[in-house]
Structure 1
Amino acid sequence: MGQVADGASSATVPASDTDAGDSSNPEPHSRGIFGRILGAFGASAPETDIDAAANTDAATVVSPAHPGIGNLRRLRVGDVAIPKVEIVAVPSTITRDELVEVFRKEGYSRLPVFKGTLDTPLGLVHLKDLALEYGFGATGGRFSVRKLLRPLLYVPPSMPIGVLLQKMQVQRIHMALVIDEYGGVDGLVTLEDLIEQVIGEIEDEHDEAESGYWKQEKPGQWVVQARAPLREFETAIGMTLADPEDEQEIDSMGGLVFMQIGRVPSRGEVISAPNGVEYEVIDADPRRIKRLRVRMPGVAAE
């Protein structure tokens, strides 16, 4: 789960989200999923160890492939953050109608707000605040997104994600911007992004439900989950997609695309294979591909 492209023009720049509440008031004794995760973490890794780990070299940390409580110590914020170019944010000059449209289009409950560029963040705007102030028949007076601003956390990419999880719990701020050495914005992390490193991917009501690993959109075009077994999909479409020398090393459709280009592609990127098949990346984060659109040779993109 998570957020997405920052190149923003007047209204958007794509962000990830969870529906937990934000506030600047500390609540150090709150429990729930936060307490359970951090309680289990604390039993095996004292807080002093976490703080000490924050000063270690992030380059020595290898990102594990599977979720688990140990990721809270091993992973750094930079390992899980959404890159700057994929952040959805809004300018402080945005109108109410434009803001409503961004919330409707992107499906997030929180959006960062910036002045001029994303490197000058002001805070975040919550959909709930917008609805309470200006929805349900309320006029709210003259609109200004600044009246709705809530605080953000600002963290370095080298911080262990367990430390950030504790900060989010205590300060009840569930979105953080990753700041580089020059003070510019380098990425974005939400509470949901951190929890997914422990319990696995969280599907919410905005995620598209799919039955099976793939579905056909039209003749010659499919939407395929990245974890779909490669050989099963090849059998379904009646075509071999992987090169014979690579076939034994590739198990999934996501692995096939990764092998094609040697890196994790960005959301929206289109990869053309030598056999004429096109792979459009519908959903991805900095570490993995999630969903693809596969087009057979000769099928035009919409």
Structure 2
Amino acid sequence: MKNFVKGRNDTSLRETIKEYIDAAESQDTEITSVSAHERTLISNILKLRDHTVGYVMIPRADIFGIDINTSKEELLSILAEKQHSRIPIYRGTLDDIVGTIHIKDIMACIAESRPVEMENLVRDVPIISPSMQVLDLLLMMKQMRKHMALVVDEFGGIDGLVTINDIIESIVGEMEDEYDQGEEPVIIENGNGSILIDARYDIEEFEEKYGKILSEEEREDNDTLGGLVFEIAGRVPARGEILSHHSGMIFEVIDADPRRVNRLLIKNIPLPEPS
């Protein structure tokens, strides 16, 4: 790396790092010790510098919030169903945001036999412009110790929501917890030999079903088909994007959002080698 960047004072650090990544991808023998996964992480961070919060935000239509006048019983029922730790609180409509509420504050009231009064539990939430840079928002969240921000449009209406997890997932890929498992990943085999498959589908299970197709490095670096597609593209591919694998397989992204791939159509699956 030192030899690679030596004498490059006339270029920015960012440009130098990008050249370093490009050289690593071209298999320059001096710098191939950097794994594909590490190159992807670095590349994603550099790309975020060019993106505003619209790239990572959850759109208004997908925001879940609670009216401040919701009863305690209904509130607890909603929290048990949605399993969010932080939820936007509004008065009347989503455009009249009061703040956010944290489930641990509610649980503290219950544990101490205090009344659950949302007016007293609401925390301030940053209101940001859609033109704000993603990395600037990440820094602001860190400084303010906030995990959520709301994006407003030019008329002051709520346009979207961003959590710190959304930003991190745009760098490292989807992170699931025990509540994200839900239903088993779905796979549908079509008559033409293609398959419609959940991007969460486990790579080992895929190869048990369709034979050894991937390289050892791909197996080590990825757990799911979504992770493999992420690696091939070097980023989160967009809906409708088509990607080729060295085995001859074709991945078409059927469903995706800025943070993750959700569903894939796989074509040209190689026939298993005869045993």
Please give the TM-score of this superposition, normalised by the length of structure 1: 0.52
SS in 1 for 2:45: coil
- Given candidates 139, 158, 173, the residue that maps to 2:131 is 158
Q: How many residues align?
A: 182
| Residues 241-289 of structure 1: per-residue CA shift (max 9 Å, x gap) | xxxxx9997834x62x35xxxxx5xxxxxxxxxxxxxxxxxxxx45654
1:115 is matched by which residue type in structure 2? Answer: R
One-letter code aligned to 1:155: I
Other-structure match for 1:281: none
Q: Which residue of 1 aligns with 2:250?
A: 251
Q: Which runs of structure 2 are paired with 1:9-48 in the superposition (5 Å)?
A: none
Aligned pairs for 1:98-113 within 5 A: 98-113=74-89
**Residue segments in structure 1 that go unaligned for 5+ positions in a row:** 1-42, 46-65, 217-221, 237-245, 259-263, 265-284, 293-302
Please state whether the residue corresponding to 1:192 is helix, strand or coil.
Answer: helix
The structure that has the greater radius of gyration is 2
Partner Cα separation in structure 1 for residue 196 and residue 74 of structure 2:
30
In structure 2, what is the Cα distance between the partners aligned to 1:192 and 1:247?
A: 27
2:50 maps to 74
Partner SS state of residue 87, structure 2: strand
Q: Name which of 60, 64, 77 aligns with 1:88.
A: 64
What's the CA shift for 1:228? 5.4
2:73 aligned to which of 94, 97, 100: 97
Contact 2:170 2:259 in 1 (8 A): no
Q: What is the CA deviation profile of residues 130-168 of structure 1, one whole-angstrom value per residue up to 9, with x for unaligned ones?
A: 00012x3x3213x32111101101111111110000100
Across the aligned residues of Structure 1 and Structure 2, the Cα RMSD in angstroms comes to: 3.4
- Tell me which amino acid in the other structure corresponds to 2:167: L
Is 1:203 equivalent to 2:203 in the alignment?
Answer: no
Query: 1:72, CA displacement in angstroms?
Result: 3.1
2:187–2:198 CA contact under 8 A, matched in 1:
no
Conservation of the 8 A alpha-carbon contact between 1:176 and 1:189: yes
Q: How does 1:174-193 map to 2 (within 5 A)?
A: 174-193=147-166
SS at match of 1:150: coil
> 1:205, 1:172 → 2: CA distance?
25
List alignment gaps of at least 5 residues for structure 2: 1-11, 15-39, 189-194, 211-240, 265-275
Secondary structure, counterpart of 1:157 in structure 2: coil
Structure number with the higher helix fraction is 2
Residue identity matched to 1:161: V
Contact 1:71–1:197, Cα closer than 8 Å, also in 2: no
Q: Deviations over 1:94-130 (max 9, x none)?
A: 1111111111111110000001100010000000000
SS state at 1:121 partner: strand
In structure 1, what residue type is equivalent to 2:50?
R
SS of the residue corresponding to residue 187 of structure 1 reads strand
- For the structure 1 residues 225 and 183, does the alpha-carbon distance in structure 2 shift closer, same or farther, using more than 3 Å as the test? same
Native 8 Å contact 1:174 1:191 kept in 2 = yes
Contact kept in structure 2, 1:82 and 1:286, CA below 8 Å:
no
Cα distance change, pair 186–228 in 1 and its aligned pair in 2 (3 A): same
